[in-house]
Chains A and B, each alone.
Chain A
């Protein structure tokens, strides 16, 4: 049940419990602080992109702005609309924020992966992984949690007893459910390549000196870039971040599903959103860029795991902000087209190709013929899809189907 963490395989005594507690508290604090800094980072970088100044009053460089906002949220009046479904209304923010916390438990945030080590570190005389849990279901847990977060969004909109939140939550759930498919299929490609669901196993498979000694053995390359690109796009849609933030299209929907929320309940949605950004960056790093794996340049190896992890995460967070400050919001039909007609067929086709290559390698098939057949099948599928879309569009224009 607890998977491969060597801490839990032997006798479970007080030290083990304390170590687990310590890791839980550390991750909890890290997530809160990281979310706080992420909100500040995003506001500061976006304003830099837009020739503005951004928060600059609270603390040095305005770094305490989020703290000030949070304190303000606590002191604001907590309103529950008269027509709201009270219990669900109160439950919904928790359903959003709790999965956001749980999502990070499976992410390896450190560990000694240099020079063929297996990523375990010594803590108080015990050997353990630097992640809260390493369950056997591994990455499936992340998908499960992000699916539960959809309930939070949906119930929040529904229970508000108001029109715009309802429309927003319908949009949100439709968007998140459709992109979950593409997300899952590109995770499948990673699982297929590494042969394990465990996040620690996925990181281990990417550790080591790599091809030719310097190209890292990342899944980004091993799965052939396409799943990475699909995952990156789908993750932005899954996070409801621009350019896929139709859920919170202020011009159309006021504030969408959290329109009727105020005070700390609203803050919970807000925090969950940015926490999910941090977590999604961590998951991308884990799946495709080797997580904390990297060479130890000087000093102890366990330190470099954490350093590499942070460097990679910050790079992705910057990318997220960059995308946000560059691209305008897409239309809803464009969003659905991208999800269903591009990302899902692409990731599904790529998954089949990858599977074919792995089978071909195991069965010692002729590589050239395999590639040729794979290409022919792929192109045929692409042509069929194009034809199907063109036909349906023509029929729609004729008025055959509405």
Chain B
């Protein structure tokens, strides 16, 4: 068809049921497991708060939306296990960009993020979350404000384990538990193997059929699909004659 072949390519799409659109308010696309949402302040299994008021989160915040002031723990009724605790903790969600740098900076896994990002306010006071809203409740679940849209099961994967798959950012630590327990859950299990999740990131119906047929010409796709590969296997496949 030469120059006009492209017109057939686009014409064939007409009337197909396949749609890439998600009708957002009516149906909602599944969120990735590590999506950055509203923060929570975690507690230890004995109910103590993890925050020690060190202000590292406030220091690292690029949007300057976190305000923290630490104070010495009351001797008779300590809030956190250490010397200091987060006396004031405020996050301004009109400024927060959900970059999760605070989560990475936190030395005690006190601040983590939930998957919930669908919340809006009608006044500025509501947008500033204080400790009263951020600290998890006695079951270890995030508190739910009336203007927040929580979906089923989203209050579960709130805490450090979803970030801590590779503590210190080193892949060598994958699967090693390097985090403390938390209220309501204890010590969370490590995240499942990452290569499996990489393979399910692309829905099957979105993958071009032709690339399946020529898979042996594209070793790059093969690496991600099959779990449990080591580097040596990949080397063998690239040079191999499959």
Contact = CB atoms under 8 A, between A and B. Distances in A.
Interface of A: 45, 48-53, 322-323, 325-327
Contact of A326 (B6, B16, B20): B6
A327 B7 CA distance: 8
B11 A322 contact: yes
Interface in B1-42: 6-7, 9-11, 13-16, 18-21, 23
B203 to A, nearest CB: 13
Contacts of A52: 19-21
A48 B14 contact: yes
B13 A322 contact: no
Please list the 3 inter-chain residue pairs (A to B) with the smallest Cβ-Cβ separation, ordered nearest first: A326-B10, A53-B21, A49-B10
A45 B14 CA distance: 8
A325 B10 contact: yes
A326 B5 CA distance: 10
Given A48-B14, A51-B13, A322 B7 contact: yes
A259 B179 CA distance: 53
Interface in B105-154: none
A53 B23 contact: yes
A327 B10 CA distance: 9
A325 to B, nearest CB: 6
Nearest to B7: A326
A243 to B, nearest CB: 11
Contact of B20 (A49, A51, A325, A327): A51
Interface in B142-185: none
Contacts of B23: 53
A327 B6 contact: yes
26 contacts: A45-B14, A48-B13, A48-B14, A48-B15, A49-B10, A49-B11, A49-B13, A50-B13, A51-B13, A51-B16, A51-B18, A51-B19, A51-B20, A52-B19, A52-B20, A52-B21, A53-B19, A53-B21, A53-B23, A322-B7, A322-B10, A322-B11, A325-B10, A326-B6, A326-B9, A327-B6
Interface residues of B, number: 14
B53 to A, nearest CB: 46
Nearest to A45: B14
Nearest to B20: A51
Contacts of B14: 45, 48-49
A327 B21 CA distance: 22
Contacts of A48: 13-15
Nearest to B21: A53
Contacts of A327: 6
A323 B3 CA distance: 12
From B6, B11, B21, B23, residue with most partner A Cβ within 10 Å: B21
A327 B13 CA distance: 15
Contacts of B10: 49, 322, 325-326
A50 B23 CA distance: 16
Nearest to B25: A57
A185 to B, nearest CB: 23
Nearest to A48: B14
Given A51-B18, A52-B20, 12 more contacts: A48-B13, A49-B11, A49-B14, A50-B13, A51-B19, A53-B19, A53-B23, A322-B11, A325-B10, A326-B9, A326-B10, A327-B6
A51 B7 CA distance: 15
A53 B20 CA distance: 8
A50 B12 CA distance: 10
Interface string B81-107: 000000000000000000000000000
Contacts of B13: 48-51
From B10, B13, B14, B16, residue with most partner A Cβ within 10 Å: B10
Contacts of A322: 7, 10-11
B17 to A, nearest CB: 9
B50 to A, nearest CB: 45
Contacts of B9: 326
Contacts of A53: 19, 21, 23
A53 to B, nearest CB: 4
Nearest to B12: A49
Contacts of A50: 13
Nearest to A52: B21
A326 B3 CA distance: 11
A58 to B, nearest CB: 14
A45 B21 CA distance: 15
A52 B16 CA distance: 10
Nearest to B13: A49
A327 B14 CA distance: 16
A327 B6 CA distance: 8
Contacts of B21: 52-53
A51 to B, nearest CB: 5
Contacts of B18: 51
A337 to B, nearest CB: 16
A342 to B, nearest CB: 13
B199 to A, nearest CB: 23
Nearest to A325: B10
Contacts of B16: 51
A50 B19 CA distance: 9
Contacts of B7: 322-323, 326
B96 to A, nearest CB: 29
A322 B7 CA distance: 7
Nearest to B10: A326
Contacts of B15: 48
Nearest to B14: A48
A327 B5 CA distance: 11
A49 B23 CA distance: 18
